[in-house]
Amino acid sequence: MRGINLHKAGMEGLDPETINKIIEENSKGSKFYENEMRRGAILKEQVEEKLAKLRSLSPADIEIGEKEADKLLRNFSAERRFDRCIIHIDMDAFYAAVEMRDDPSLRLKPLAVGSQSMLSTSNYLARRYGVRPAMPGFLGKKLCPQLIIVPPDFVKYTEVSRLVRSVLGEYCDGGASGLVVMSLDEVYLNITRHLMERAGWPPDRRTYWPRVTPKTPLLVCRCAKNNKDSTVNDFLVTSSTSNSPSKFPFTSSDKDSSKDSTASPSTPSSIISLVVGKDEALATCLLCGMLIKSGPRVFGTSAEEAVREMRFRIFCATKLTCSAGIAPNSLIAKIASDLNKPNGQYLVESTLEAVEAFISPLPIRKVPGIGYVTECNLKAFGVERIVDLWKRRGSLYHLASPTALNYYMRITLGHCEDEWANGEGAPVLGFSGQRSACQKSMSTERTFQDCSDPDILQAKCRQLCISLVKDMKEAHVQGKTVTMKLKLDTFEVRTRSQTLPDYTCSTEIIFQCASEILKDEAKAELANNSRALTLRLMGSNAFLVPTHFN
């Protein structure tokens, strides 16, 4: 059974053995458990096959592999650039944060967005219990009996996402059309030109008040101090000292917290940081979520100050916090944005030495594109950290696919091509390791209660396509290959693709294609398994090229 990802923001320091035991005991007999066992058996077989191949490699084979891998490293090294400033903005626990904003009574409670069958996200307090996205809600309740689950409202989340992009478009080289939108809560932007211009700006052009518009109230905490202190104290006591069984996942180190009160990620100060954030300048109140510091803010001209200004303005527009990574390319920026979550930022200087010092010691799971399955495979070969990818490059040459090997070698150098940042409108290179810069994908997906009604599934498919096309038009792109992601009630995930005759951004054409995929899959399920196609998640994806609309 898959373990929790201890490298995910808010999950650090948890006791995986205890949490995984609770999950396994309470999921036995469920479709989720059966799917996990099936996937585990397949993974074990894959690992054993590759280990057998590894044992068959001679020293000469490994030497050949090292030489071939070194060729890739030399080529990628020549491509590296350190003259750009790339930002990755990631909204903090986005769906849950929107719900807490709209209902402040939820702020100091473990919260997840989704349903009993599947969770889309969880807030940082819920993560301290091991509650994570893509987990069935009933298991979340077993880990945290007091967990509150609210249904998602994607109309609301989409509107908030547009507000975020409207702010970021003012900083992005190329304006709003230069933003690389990965999802509702995740955006890349290049601010290299902005920083050059910003260097000459007077202070008044870098000064902002904490309010939505000039004449609206200040977004500053006004909680009564006595009431606030009492509530915070109660919160800390129940969050860090309770002997309730529901408190177990905080960390195994909590048992020895008397030896080192600063060591545990569940000490009162650490719990508070999960709510108010890591950036003191933009810290928010535990109770109301408003900024603690009042008065105007004068931001500097450096990259760090420009990003702090962005984050401040995003808060003023949405009353939500975000985290950011600042780096010479999108790969490093993506990883960096996760290091000071929530409500923080991290800078990796644009030098060869800084990038290599940053990337080499990181656990491989910190890298986008390396999930549980890839992590298990790599760990079986002795790859725990990114530097190990270089040490094991001779073996990986024979064990990994060419695409995967390319990606691993890029990772060892902290390299990402980022053609999209050239200012020529080229789309972003994904983290798949593919060298083609002519494609990227845009996707949207929704989780829902198990559904087998063909009409309802078709209606959900249409709504997905409408949302996808809306995003495509905003990004000035068209698609040709449509992919449907289908998660069955058994938790099996299927992806099916179909290529259109021409590139398009027509809702009807894309929906017609997606609808046919859905119908074909329903027929196949009935023919092969004698049952109706029952889904709990549906996603639509299009591979894109840039275009221009009149």
Q: With pLDDT > 70 as the criterion, what percentage of the chain qualifies? A: 84
Give the pLDDT band (50/70/90) at residue 233. low
Q: Which amino acid is at 383?
A: V
For residues 516-540, average pLDDT: 93
Residue of higher predicted confidence among 258 and 66: 66
C-alpha–C-alpha distance, residues 367 and 388, integer Å: 13
Checking if the pLDDT of 436 tops 50, the result is: no
Checking if the pLDDT of 244 tops 50, the result is: no
Checking if the pLDDT of 175 tops 60, the result is: yes
Give the pLDDT band (50/70/90) at residue 434. very low
Residue-range domain boundaries for the chain? 57-82+351-422, 84-109+150-224+274-350, 441-546
What DSSP designation does 240 have? H
Checking if the pLDDT of 177 tops 90, the result is: no
Checking if the pLDDT of 27 tops 70, the result is: yes
Per-residue model confidence (pLDDT) at position 461: 95
Per-residue model confidence (pLDDT) at position 548: 42
| Active-site residue (options: 186, 375, 445, 521) | 186
Per-residue model confidence (pLDDT) at position 409: 96
Per-residue model confidence (pLDDT) at position 176: 85
For residues 390-407, average pLDDT: 94
Query: Does domain 84-109+150-224+274-350 sit in CATH 3.60.21.10?
Result: no
For residues 513-519, average pLDDT: 95
For residues 119-148, average pLDDT: 92
pLDDT digits (tens, 9 = 90+) for 485-503: 999 988 889 999 999 988 8
**CATH of region 57-82+351-422:** 1.10.150.810
pLDDT digits (tens, 9 = 90+) for 310-336: 999 999 999 999 999 999 999 999 999
Query: Residue 394 in contact with residue 370, Cβ under 8 Å?
Result: no
Per-residue model confidence (pLDDT) at position 449: 85
Per-residue model confidence (pLDDT) at position 246: 42
Query: Residue 316 in contact with residue 211, Cβ under 8 Å?
Result: yes
Checking if the pLDDT of 46 tops 60, the result is: yes
How distant, in Å, are the alpha carbons of 40, 42, 405, 462 from that of 399? Answer: 20, 17, 9, 41
Question: Which segment of 213-222, 420-429, 537-546 scores lowest on mean pLDDT?
Answer: 420-429
Q: Which residues of 514-546 are buried (b: 16+ CB within 10 A; e: fewer)?
A: bbebbeebbeebeeeeeeebbbbbbbbbbbbeb
Checking if the pLDDT of 296 tops 50, the result is: yes
Q: Six-digit token pair at 99?
A: 């719900």
For residues 397-409, average pLDDT: 93
Checking if the pLDDT of 39 tops 90, the result is: no
Question: Which segment of 298-307, 329-338, 470-479 scores lowest on mean pLDDT?
Answer: 470-479
Nearest to 250 by CA among 238, 233, 232: 238
How distant, in Å, are the alpha carbons of 189, 309, 313 from that of 208? Answer: 21, 8, 8
Whether 99 is catalytic is no
For residues 168-179, average pLDDT: 90
Q: Which residues of 1-31 are buried (b: 16+ CB within 10 A; e: fewer)?
A: ebebbeebbbbebbbeeebeebbeebbeeeb
Checking if the pLDDT of 263 tops 90, the result is: no
Rounded to the nearest integer, the mean pLDDT of the chain is 85
Per-residue model confidence (pLDDT) at position 242: 45
For residues 473-488, average pLDDT: 87
C-alpha–C-alpha distance, residues 126 and 128, integer Å: 5
For residues 53-76, average pLDDT: 96
Q: With pLDDT > 90 as the criterion, what percentage of the chain qualifies? A: 59
Helix (H) or strand (E) holding 391: helix 386-391
Per-residue model confidence (pLDDT) at position 168: 97
Per-residue model confidence (pLDDT) at position 547: 52
CATH architecture assignment, domain 441-546: 2-Layer Sandwich (3.30)
Record the pTM: 0.80
Per-residue model confidence (pLDDT) at position 424: 46
Checking if the pLDDT of 437 tops 50, the result is: no
Burial of 401 (0-12, 13-18, 19+ CB in 10 A): exposed
Question: Which segment of 165-169, 231-235, 447-451 scores lowest on mean pLDDT?
Answer: 231-235
